Structure 1
Amino acid sequence: MRAFITASGQCLPGSPVGNAAMADHIGRLSERCEREGRLALRQNGIRSRHYAMDANGRTDWTVARLAAGAVADILDRAEIDRSRIGYLATATTQNDIMVPGLASLVHGESGLPPLEVSSHQSVCASSMMALKGAALQISAGEHRAALAVGAEFASRYFRPGHYAETDTLSADGTLPRDAAFLRWTLSDGAAGVLVEDRPAGRGLSLAIDWISLRSFADRFAPCMTGGAMAGADGTLTPWSHADTIGDAARRGAFQLRQDMDALHRMLPVWLGELMRLVDEGRVAVDEVDWFLCHFSAKSLREEMVRLATRAGCMIPEERWFTNLYEKGNVGAASPFLLIDDLLRSGRLRAGQRILCAVPESGQCIMAYALMTVVEGPQ
C-alpha cells in the first residue's frame, strides 16, 4: 500500500522580524555581539524570520501550541475530518518540558480524538523520522490517515538572561562562535503534513516513493548540543550530573551550541549519501524536477553546490526550492515548511519528481525522500 501527502499546513507566530529589528527582538548583549551577529546574517543570508516571543521576552506560545496551530491549518485544508486521524508523529529539537513527550502535549492541545502517538526528538532530521513513521503506518495498513508535524521554539534560549552570569558570556559581553551563530540563525514555528492511503480527491498530492535516513554518529562526536556542559578537553557532561541546577546553568548547560568546524566536516558525508542513492539507482539526478534541500545558511549551500558539482551529482540550482531567506531556519519544522510552500506555490504539475534532502548536524544524520506529484480523480 502506498502513502500520499494529501494536505499540509504551517503556523508561524507573529509578524516577520527583519534583520534591522532582530537585535531589539531577541535582546542586546553588547555592540561587539551585534557586529558578530551582522557577520552571521551575511553568512546565513536570512532576511526575516518569526519569533514566538515578543520584544519584551513575553509569550503565550509553547512548542506544543505551535504544533497544534499547524495541525489546525492542515485540517482546514484537508478533505477528511479530524475524527479519522489515527496516528500523530511529532518532531522537535527540544520539547517544552522533560515529561511527557511532545506528541502527548500536541494531542492535548489539538483537539484530536484518541489516537496512536509517537514523539521524535533530534534536530532537523527528526522531521523525517516523524514523516517516515507516519508513511510506514499507512503503508502497513495500521491507519488510513496520519499526521507528521515539526515544531520549534528556539528563541526562548536566546534572550540575554540566558547568558547573564554564565561562563559563556565574556567580560566584554561577547559569546563564543559556537553559541553566537545559532542565536542569529534559528527561529520559531511549526509545519506538518497529512499522510493518507490514497491521493486527495481534488488537486495535487505527493506520493511518497521512499524515505532514506542514516546516522553517522559512529564517525562524529555531537556537533549541535543543548543540555550539556563542555569540559576543557571538549568532553560533554549531562546537565543533570552537575552538583546543582545553578552550577549547570552557570556552565552554559541550558544554551544551544554548534561546532561550526565539525559541521563543515559533515558536508562530504551528506553528499556521499546522495552519491550512494544515485549508484543504487534510487535517484536519477536528471529526473529531479524540484530539489527541496534544507540548509541552515547560504554559505553552507554554496559549499554544497561546490562539492556536488565536483562530484558530478549536482542538481541544477534553478530546480532548488527554498524559503530559508524569508522564513529562516526553523529546525524540525523547516522540511515541512518547504513541502507546504511548494504545494501552495502553484508551480507543481502531475508527474514531477521531488527530492527532499535534510542534513542534521546534531551528531551527523542525513535523510533523503523521493516523492511524485499525482493528481486526484477530481
Structure 2
Amino acid sequence: MRAYVTGSGQFLPGEPVSNAAMVDYIGRLSPQAERLGRLTLRRNGIRSRHYAMRSDGTTDWTLAKLGAAALDDLFGRSGLDRREVGYLATATTQNDLMVPGLASGLHAASGLPPLEIASLQSVCASAMMALKSAALQVSAGEHAAALAVGAEFSSRYFRPGHYHGTAAMNTDGTLPGDAEFLRWTLSDGAAGVLVEDSPAPHGLSLRIDWISLRSFADRFAPCMTGGGVADGQGGLIPWSHFPTIAEAAQAGAFQLRQDVEALHRMLPVWLGELMRLVDEGRVDPTGVDHFLCHFSARSLRDEMVAQARKAGCLIPEERWFTNLYEKGNVGAASLFLLLDDLLRSGQLTAGQKVLCAVPESGQCVMAYAMMTVVDGEEA
C-alpha cells in the first residue's frame, strides 16, 4: 500500500516583520547586540518573518493554537471531513508544556475526533520524523488518512527578560554568539500535510516513495540546545540538576543556544548521506525536478552547494525551491511550509521528482525524502 501527500496548509501569525522592525518584537538588549544582529542577518539572508509575540511581549498564541490554525487552512482547501482522519503526528522543538505532548494539545485545539497521536520532539528533523510516522501508518493500513504537523513559537524565548540577570549577559549588553545567532534567525508559525492511502481524486498529489533519516549523535556533541548549561568538559548540566529553578534560570539553562562552529562541522556528514543515497541508486541528482532543502542561512546554503559541487552530486541550483528569505526559519514547520508552498506554486506536473532534505544540528540528524508528483485523475 502507498502513501500520498494529498493536502497541505499553513499559518503564519501576524503581518510579515521586516529586518528593521524585528528588534521591536524580540526586544532590545543593547546597541552592540543590534550590530551583531545585523551581521547575522547578512549571513542568513532572511528579509522577513512572522512572530506570534506582540511587540510589547504579550501573546494570545500557543503552539497548539498555531497548529490548529494551520489545520483550518488545510481542511479548508482539502475538502476532507476531519472525522475521516485517524492519526495525528506533531513535530516541534519545544512544546508549550513539559507534559503532555504537543499532539495532545493540538488534538484538543483542532476539532479532530478521538484518534491515535504521536508527539515527535527534536529540532528541524522532527518534521521528517512526523511525516514518516504518518506515512508508515497509512502504508501499513492502520489508517486511511493521517496528519503530520510542525509548529514553532521560538520568539517567546528571545525577549530581554529571558536574558537579563542571567550568566549569559555580557557587561556590554550582548550575548554569547551561540545565543545571539538564534535570536536573529528563528521565527514562528505552523504547517502540516495530509497523508492518505490514495491520491486526491482531483489535482496533483505527492506519492511518498521513501524517507531516510539517520542520527549521528554517536559522533557529535549537542549543537543546538535548550534546557541545560555547559559543564566546561564538553557535556551539559540539565536544568533539573540545579538545586533550585531560580539557579537554573540564572545560569541560562532555559535559553536556546546554537554552536555555529559545530554546525559547519556537520556539513560533510549531511552531504555524505546524499552521496550514500546516490551510490545506492535512490537519488539521481540530474533527475530531481524540485529540491526542497531546509537550511537556516544563505551562507550555509552556499557552503552546501560548494561542497556538493566538489563531490559531484550537486542538484542544479535552479531546481532548489526555498521560502526562507520571505518566511524565515520556522524550524520543525519549515519542511511542511516548503511542501505547501510548492503544491500551491503551479510549478508541478505529473511525473516530476521532488527531493526533500532536512539537516538538523541538534545533535546531527540528516533526513531525505523522495516523492513523485501524481495526477489523481490519471491514477
TM-score normalised to the size of structure 2?
0.99
Alignment of 1:136 onto 2:131: no
Q: Residue 196 of structure 1 corresponds to which residue in structure 2?
A: 196
Q: Residue 307 of structure 2 corresponds to which residue in structure 1?
A: 307
Q: CA-to-partner distance for each residue in 1:260-303, whole Å, 9 max, x for gaps?
A: 11000000000000000000000011110000000000000000
Q: What is the distance in 2 between the residues matched to 1:335 and 1:59?
A: 25
Q: What is the distance in 1 between the residues matched to 2:80 and 2:9?
A: 14
Alignment of 1:329 onto 2:314: no
Show the 5 A alignment for 1:8-47: 8-47=8-47
Q: What is the distance in 2 between the residues matched to 1:293 and 1:169?
A: 34
Q: How many angstroms does 1:79 deviate by?
A: 2.9
Q: What is the distance in 2 between the residues matched to 1:314 and 1:168?
A: 40
Q: What is the distance in 1 between the residues matched to 2:50 and 2:80?
A: 30
**C-alpha contact 2:144 2:196 (8 A) present in aligned 1:** yes
Q: How many angstroms does 1:233 deviate by?
A: 2.9
Q: What is the distance in 2 between the residues matched to 1:72 and 1:229?
A: 39
Q: Residue 155 of structure 2 corresponds to which residue in structure 1?
A: 155
Q: Residue 102 of structure 1 corresponds to which residue in structure 2?
A: 102
Choose 16-25 or 37-46, whichever is displaced more: 16-25
Alignment of 1:320 onto 2:332: no
**C-alpha contact 2:16 2:48 (8 A) present in aligned 1:** yes
Q: Residue 5 of structure 1 corresponds to which residue in structure 2?
A: 5
Show the 5 A alignment for 1:222-237: 222-237=222-237
Q: CA-to-partner distance for each residue in 1:103-122, whole Å, 9 max, x for gaps?
A: 01000000100000000000
Choose 229-238 or 162-171, whichever is displaced more: 229-238
Q: What is the distance in 1 between the residues matched to 2:176 and 2:266?
A: 21
Q: What is the distance in 2 between the residues matched to 1:132 and 1:24?
A: 38
Q: How many angstroms does 1:41 deviate by?
A: 0.1
Q: How many angstroms does 1:77 deviate by?
A: 1.2
- Please give the root-mean-square deviation of Cα atoms over the aligned residues, in Å: 0.7
**C-alpha contact 2:186 2:331 (8 A) present in aligned 1:** yes
Q: CA-to-partner distance for each residue in 1:229-262, whole Å, 9 max, x for gaps?
A: 1123342011000010000000001100010110
Q: What is the distance in 1 between the residues matched to 2:7 and 2:301?
A: 28
Q: In structure 1, what residue type is equivalent to 2:107?
A: H
Q: In structure 1, what residue type is equivalent to 2:87?
A: Y
**C-alpha contact 2:30 2:174 (8 A) present in aligned 1:** yes
Q: What is the distance in 1 between the residues matched to 2:24 and 2:90?
A: 31
Q: What is the distance in 2 between the residues matched to 1:217 and 1:246?
A: 30
Q: What is the distance in 1 between the residues matched to 2:4 and 2:174?
A: 48
Give 3-state SS (helix, strand or coil) of 2:291's partner: strand
Q: What is the distance in 2 between the residues matched to 1:277 and 1:172?
A: 48
Show the 5 A alignment for 1:242-281: 242-281=242-281
Alignment of 1:347 onto 2:324: no
Q: Residue 371 of structure 1 corresponds to which residue in structure 2?
A: 371
Q: How many residues align?
A: 378
Q: Residue 68 of structure 1 corresponds to which residue in structure 2?
A: 68
Q: Residue 180 of structure 1 corresponds to which residue in structure 2?
A: 180
**C-alpha contact 2:221 2:234 (8 A) present in aligned 1:** no
Q: What is the distance in 2 between the residues matched to 1:351 and 1:227?
A: 45
Q: What is the distance in 1 between the residues matched to 2:79 and 2:188?
A: 28
Q: What is the distance in 2 between the residues matched to 1:285 and 1:321?
A: 15
5+ residue gaps, structure 1, are none
Q: In structure 2, what residue type is equivalent to 1:49?
A: R
Give 3-state SS (helix, strand or coil) of 1:20's partner: coil
Q: How many angstroms does 1:376 deviate by?
A: 1.1
Q: What is the distance in 1 between the residues matched to 2:137 and 2:362?
A: 26
**C-alpha contact 1:285 1:315 (8 A) present in aligned 2:** yes
Q: What is the distance in 1 between the residues matched to 2:233 and 2:100?
A: 34
Q: In structure 2, what residue type is equivalent to 1:144?
A: A
Give 3-state SS (helix, strand or coil) of 2:164's partner: coil
**C-alpha contact 1:79 1:200 (8 A) present in aligned 2:** no
Q: How many angstroms does 1:195 deviate by?
A: 0.2
Q: What is the distance in 2 between the residues matched to 1:301 and 1:108?
A: 38
Give 3-state SS (helix, strand or coil) of 1:369's partner: strand
